Chain A
Amino acid sequence: MRPQSPHALVVTGDGIQGEGETAHAFRLAKFDVDIRHLNDLIQEKLGMDELCRKYSAVAFPGGFSFGDDLGAGRILGLKLTYQLGWDLATYASRGGLVLGIGNGFQALIRMGIFGKDLSITHNATGKWSDTWTKVTPSGNRCVWLRGLGTMDLPIRHAEGRIVIGASRRAETLAKLDRLGMACLKYEENSIGSDEKRAGLCDSTGRILGLMPRPESYIRGTAHPEWTAQRGRAGAPGVGLTFFENAYHEAM
């Protein structure tokens, strides 16, 4: 008998945009997916126990939750912490997988998942930027990035520049390296992110937050140069591997 598919929860509502494509990526990777509105989760009081029991993975997609009021991802983070009582570090330690993309990553940072000594702010250019970039995984801590080398992914944001607090900079950098948390770097750092960081994971490697958009590159025809390699038009995009990695981890 075929084992039951793992379940993924994709959170939406209040300005989140990327729930459709994120859910689609999970489905392609053979997850059963629920897209749930934040308010419904709060009304149903879907707490930690149920989250752990029901879902192998939870994703916070990109978008503009709460209009970026009080800082990108701030209110979303507060709602998850205070109104749902979610402690994502515990969820990860109990086997859960977490993916925060774009605005979802910003929320994870505001929630302190990657420590209190780093934050995220406006790109050095001061501009919103929609382009494609090369990123390279570093270390092997992050389960979402297994088997991936340097890859092309789109970025679409105005606030993706990771900043490490000046007062404890050396300690913070050392800690990120030691725990394998600095898991994804830009090759070309057009947005001026500190130490070229494009994404971070927690010390278990099960929580990944990143500004590039893996869910937007799950088919070959999404790549800006695909018409130069017609043979690969039908191939999946490298972003799908993130979700397939999660599937293998969850099974």
Chain B
Amino acid sequence: MFARIEIAVRPDLVDSTAQNLMRRIELTDPHLRRQIRWARYLEIYWLDLPVGREELIPALSEIAWDRVLQWVFTGNLMPAAAGKTGGLQDLMEVAPYRPGRFCGVERRYRPGVTDTKGRSFLDALEIVLGKKLDQGRASSGGLFVMEGPGLDEDVLARIARDILCNETLETWTLVPEDGLKKNERFHQERVKYDLPKWQPRGLQVVETFDLSKMSDSDLENLSRKKTFALSLEEMKAIQAYFNDPKVQEKRSLIGMKNATDVELEVIAQTWSEHCKHKIFNAVVTFEGQTIDSLFKTYVVGTTQNIKKPWLLSVFKDNGGICAFDDDDAFCVKVETHNSASALEPFGGSLTGMLAVNRDILGCGLGAKPVFNTNVMCIAPLDYRETLPDRILHPRRILDGVRRGVQQAGNQSGIPTINGALIFDERYLGKPLVYCGSGGIMPRISAGEPCEVKKILPGDRIFMVGGRVGKDGIHGATFSSLALSDHSPTSAVQLGDTMIQKRMADFLLEARDLGLYRAITDNGAGGLSSSVGEMALLSGGAQVDVSQAKAKYTGLKPFEIIVSESQERMTVIVPPIQVAGFQSLAERRGVEVSDLGEFNSSGSFDIFNTSVQVASLSLNFLHEGVPRLKLSAQWTPPAAAPSPILVSTNSEQVLESFKKLGQPVLLGLLSRPNIASKEWIIRQYDHEAQGTSVVKPLHITASGTTRAWSGPNDASVIKPKVTSDLGLAVGCGIQPKLSDIDPFLMAQAAVDEAVRNVLCVGAEYGTPDSVLALVDNFCWSDPIHDVEKMGALVRACQGLQNAALALGTPLISGKDSMKNEYQGMRRGQSISISVPPTLLITAVARVTDIKQARTADFKSVGDFIYLIGNNEFGLQGSELQSLVRETAQIHPVSAELHLGRPNWNLATQIYSWLGGAQGKQQFRLKSLHDLSEGGLMVAVAESLISRGLGASLWISGGRDPWELSFGEGFHSFVGSVAPDDAPSIEAEWDELGIPFQRIGNVENHDRLEVFVRGSAPATSSNGFGDLAFTATITQLRAAWSREGYWE
């Protein structure tokens, strides 16, 4: 029988789903939100079951009705399921406005889309009824019921399109008020009509192209029409391959002539910028020199130079692999999902996180993900200008990305432990969404070393996890193009966390049982990339796409081979293990498809049943792409006039500091780049797996009304229950410095990432100290812009300079080169390029987690020190941006320096912090690095959670502005108990580590800043003249910046 079930939250309880939808409507357009006075959300199931009414009613009431929480409407199937009439009217009667104007929007899945909730409903019925319902169907959806006088069709359509539905996957219909009140939608025929039906369209045809006679413009048109994203030169290389008489002869032997769409698609995916990194591998001319690949020169070259004994595998695999101890290794990978997140922030970030987790699962012999990271760069949330076409407001992007990251980590049980949120108006052109993950694996699995990928001819190729569908076709090539106002949303998909979780558990179990030989993820380019690349290890591969389990029939062979449908991995199983592999998969509820085998034929052969649809030389596929030749040039930008006034009159400087110090400090604390990210951090499960040692936030007085959180510099987890070794994860990102010099920007990112992990207790300084870096470049297209290319070269050089100086190897990385928007705003064409942005992720070992540190000052009376470099600058500082954007604040400073690195000094300080020199490090009671906002912000952040006070003295003879708010390299604020001060100061003196005692933690509720003259202090406490005061309440209020975030 057919049935429709509607499940509503009881009217006396808050309907969280409806509330969240309303919030998203508000974010999309406050005007839309104002039209809705009341709303409820109902879950809907459409059922077609080979079960009678008598049997169905008790089963439904068992699985789908929580009487405490819910009302259930079923037409006349279960008459007593809700209020008076048993229908939606009961719910509408409790709406505050009567007689009110009601209407609804109903969403349901498009035919063929995976509907896991529907599947679960059927599973639940099968469990309760104790029998298989092979002929049964269940489809899930929802009905959003709203009340408001202004809800016309336009408003409802926008709500449906922009908020309620992902139109790639779902359709919607409007339900007018009388439709809601009547029960027609429950009628058998109507339910039958509403259930999605998949009708295969088109045939499994293979299109062929005779490239031999194509002109240049024909080739370019073909590339554009098919979203190949290939240049003319590349298309001509492909043409030459198919015209090669030797190739033609070989093809004629297997009955193939013209290039097939399968072949061209495979080449396009393999050669995409996303997969091949053509820009990073280009031959570049710069300042009279020829650079043979930025990647080889500055990234690989750096790590080769550093040579650490614990590097197990770098730049070869899905992520870098390092030894953690004698028994285990860790691996790290950071990706970006910018293009997808720009169009569909939730789906884009969710799939980005799940994809990077699969990189970890497919790294070496397969690692267990133990942490996630997420860094996001977006335009300010209070952006008020007209948005360019197709660009979403940063608030919507942030909300969607937050939900995606949250779902991916929280539902997979992987803690999201580190991240950053960077604001700059230029990220309107494309938001940057960095998705990172790290994993742990045994160094030997079933007798094989974890870092070696090996394949033998005859090994079987399995597709594991999700089914293949039309979703995500052309993701790799799409992300290799700039965002424009006609970018396809079809390239964006939704992830299914549960399918991936089951697959992940299964794969780790299979790894430990030795059931597979090698593994890799199916990411960009789908099977064409994963199988195509793995084929290099054996020397060839043959697959039959008809064997791939598909979401529906009717997929074309090329769609199967390039589809980026999510939650799939490629696993290579030796013939002898096939039965065991398949049987474990079945027991774990994971689908696997045996697609073919690896061989040593030298080619990648693809069949559709018995018909061959592609035969490509592996050598051509992987080596045939013409190298790009690019010119680069860098002109230092003319220094923008500084908004900070400079004066040689020290009295004037001091007066300005006394007057403006407090508003500047509070203004800086509330800047989005600095202010608290607690609202987002607490929505991420950052303690899953029970491994947390240092959390993104420290709390004091947790669980009480006095609870307050402050920031830590990085996180530490304890990935092994049997060991007190920890893993510290931090990051550095300084895009604002790109406007001064990308070289400095890259140095600053490296230094910041390293400082952050050192703060929490990372080891550093001995050959065995494990501290590895991951680089992620996000640029706007430098191919036709020599200056952008020059900036890229400068950044690479800065990265190399810093990594070599600190001896910290780069173990993995990724670049994303098309981060710009070209489109229209108010009918005018506009292009927006993101600032050159380099994210450095640092992952380091902590020798003993019991020695880990947090940033908060802990006890009254403790001494506060500035440790390390004390030469900062106000150029490029957050203070400079604050003054530029705030009309009322005009500080007068004495100097306007640019903070620069001093690597010799850095290695001295870091070796001490990292435990390689000295032995008093453990006496530090807190440590926090100086970054945005400088010393004063670092002190304030160390005070905020515990609510203690501090007195701070600024020594005379220094520009108080620069000392308090300047930014630079290698500096920390730490606190030490008075009893420990003599021994720690003696050690600093001995090791030549600069330090300065700058204050005390006090038993009051404010930060007092004194200026000490060159003459002996005049005031009674010996601290100097009181310059300004800020109470903890003020600091907290500024830093939390309530009302801005959500």
* A interface residues, Cβ below 8 angstroms from B: 12-15, 17-18, 20-21, 24, 37, 39-40, 43, 63-64, 66-67, 69-71, 74-75, 78-79, 82-83, 110, 116-119, 121-122, 124, 126-135, 152, 154, 156, 163-166, 186-188, 213, 215-216, 218-219, 221-222, 224-225, 227-228, 230, 233-234
**B101 interfacial by beta-carbon distance below 8 Å:** no
> For window 39-78 of chain B, which residues contact chain A by CB distance below 8 Å?
62-64, 66-69
> Please, how many residues of chain B have a CB less than 8 angstroms from a CB on the other chain?
71
Chain B contacts with A in 126-149, Cβ cutoff 8 A: 127-128, 130
A67 adjacent to B497 (CB under 8 Å): yes
CB-defined contacts of A166 to chain B, threshold 8 Å = 10, 12
A219 CA / B689 CA spacing, docked (Å) = 13
- Contact (Cβ within 8 A) B693 A225: no
CB-nearest residue of chain A relative to B406?
A: A128
Which residues of chain A have C-beta atoms less than 8 A from B62's C-beta?
A: 78
Whether B703 contacts A133 by the Cβ 8 Å rule is yes
Kindly list chain A residues whose C-beta atoms are within 8 Å of the C-beta of B9: 121
Instruction: Specify which chain B residues have a CB less than 8 angstroms from the CB of A43 in the assembled complex.
Output: 587
Q: Do B703 and A119 have beta carbons less than 8 Å apart?
A: no
- Cross-chain contact B685 with A130 (CB below 8 angstroms): yes
> In the complex the two chains form, is B116's CB within 8 Å of A20's CB?
no
Question: Given A18, A188, A227, A228, which contacts B703 in the complex, CB threshold below 8 Å?
Answer: A188
Residues on the B chain within 8 Å of A219, using CB: 718
Q: Do A39 and B587 contact each other (CB < 8 Å), given the known contacts A74-B124, A126-B20, A224-B699?
A: yes
Residues of A within 8 A of B116 (CB): 67, 69
Min CB gap B714→A, angstroms: 13
**In the bound complex, CA of A39 to CA of B509 (Å):** 14
The minimal Cβ–Cβ distance linking A131 to chain B, given in whole angstroms, is: 6
Contact between chains at B69 and A163 (CB < 8 Å): yes
A20's nearest neighbour on chain B, judged by CB, is B689
User: Measured between alpha carbons, how far is A240 from B120 in the docked complex, in Å?
Assistant: 35
Q: Does B309 contact A (CB under 8 A)?
A: no
Tell me the smallest distance from the CB of A218 to a CB of chain B, in Å.
Answer: 8
Q: Are B13 and A163 in contact (CB under 8 A)?
A: yes
Contact indicator A21/B854 (Cβ below 8 Å): no
Interchain residue pairs with CB less than 8 A apart (28): A13-B505, A39-B587, A67-B497, A69-B116, A75-B123, A75-B124, A75-B127, A78-B62, A119-B66, A119-B68, A130-B685, A134-B703, A154-B687, A156-B687, A165-B68, A166-B10, A166-B12, A187-B703, A187-B704, A188-B705, A188-B707, A221-B693, A222-B687, A225-B699, A227-B858, A227-B926, A228-B858, A230-B850
A39 touching B589 by the CB < 8 A rule? yes
Q: Which residues of A contact B721 (CB under 8 A)?
A: 20-21, 24
Q: Per-residue CB proximity of B672-692 to A under 8 Å, as 1/0?
A: 000000000111111111111
Closest A residue, CB atoms, query B501:
A15
Give the residues in chain B near A13, CB-CB below 8 Å.
Answer: 502, 505, 588
In whole angstroms, how far apart are the Cα atoms of A98 and B158 in the complex? 49
Q: Can you add 6 more A-B contacts, CB < 8 Å, to A21-B691, A225-B702?
A: A15-B501, A17-B413, A79-B127, A128-B406, A224-B699, A230-B850
Q: Which positions in B face A, CB cutoff 8 Å?
A: 9-10, 12-14, 16, 19-20, 62-64, 66-69, 116-117, 120-121, 123-124, 127-128, 130, 406, 410-413, 497-498, 501-502, 505, 587-589, 681-695, 697-700, 702-705, 707, 718, 721, 849-850, 852-854, 856, 858, 926
- Alpha-carbon separation in the docked complex, A69 to B119 (Å): 9
Ranked nearest first, the 5 interchain pairs of A and B with the lowest CB-CB distance are A17-B413, A134-B703, A21-B690, A69-B120, A119-B68
Q: Is the CB of A64 within 8 A of B497?
A: yes
A67 adjacent to B121 (CB under 8 Å): no
Q: How far apart are the CA atoms of A132 and B702 in the complex, in Å?
A: 6
The residues of B that contact A40 with a CB separation of less than 8 Å are 587
Within 8 Å CB of A156, what residues of B?
A: 410, 685, 687-688
B683 in contact with A128 (CB, 8 Å): yes
Nearest CB on B from A10, distance (A): 13
B120-A224 in contact (CB<8A): no
Asked if B682 contacts A131 (CB within 8 A), the reply is yes
Q: Is the CB of B127 within 8 A of A165?
A: no
Q: A39's contact among B64, B69, B588, B852, by CB below 8 Å, is which?
A: B588
CB distance from A167 to the nearest CB of B (A): 9
In the bound complex, do residue A233 and residue B850 qualify as a contact, i.e. CB atoms below 8 Å apart?
yes
Chain A residues within an 8 Å CB radius of B127: 75, 78-79, 82-83
Neighbouring B residues of A124 by C-beta, 8 Å: 14
| A17 to B705 alpha-carbon distance, docked (Å) | 31
CB-CB under 8 A from B849, the residues of chain A are 221
User: Which residues from chain A contact B412 at a C-beta distance below 8 Å?
Assistant: 17
Cβ of B406 and Cβ of A130 under 8 Å apart?
A: no
Neighbour of B121 across the interface among A69, A129, A152, CB < 8 A:
A69
A129→B505 CA distance, assembly (Å): 25
Q: Counting chain A CB atoms within 10 Å of each CB, which of B64, B690, B697, B856 scores highest?
A: B690
B410, A221: Cβ atoms closer than 8 Å = no
Shortest Cβ gap from B498 to chain A (Å): 4
Residues of chain B with a CB closer than 8 A to A225's CB: 698-700, 702
> Nearest B residue to A164 by beta-carbon distance?
B68
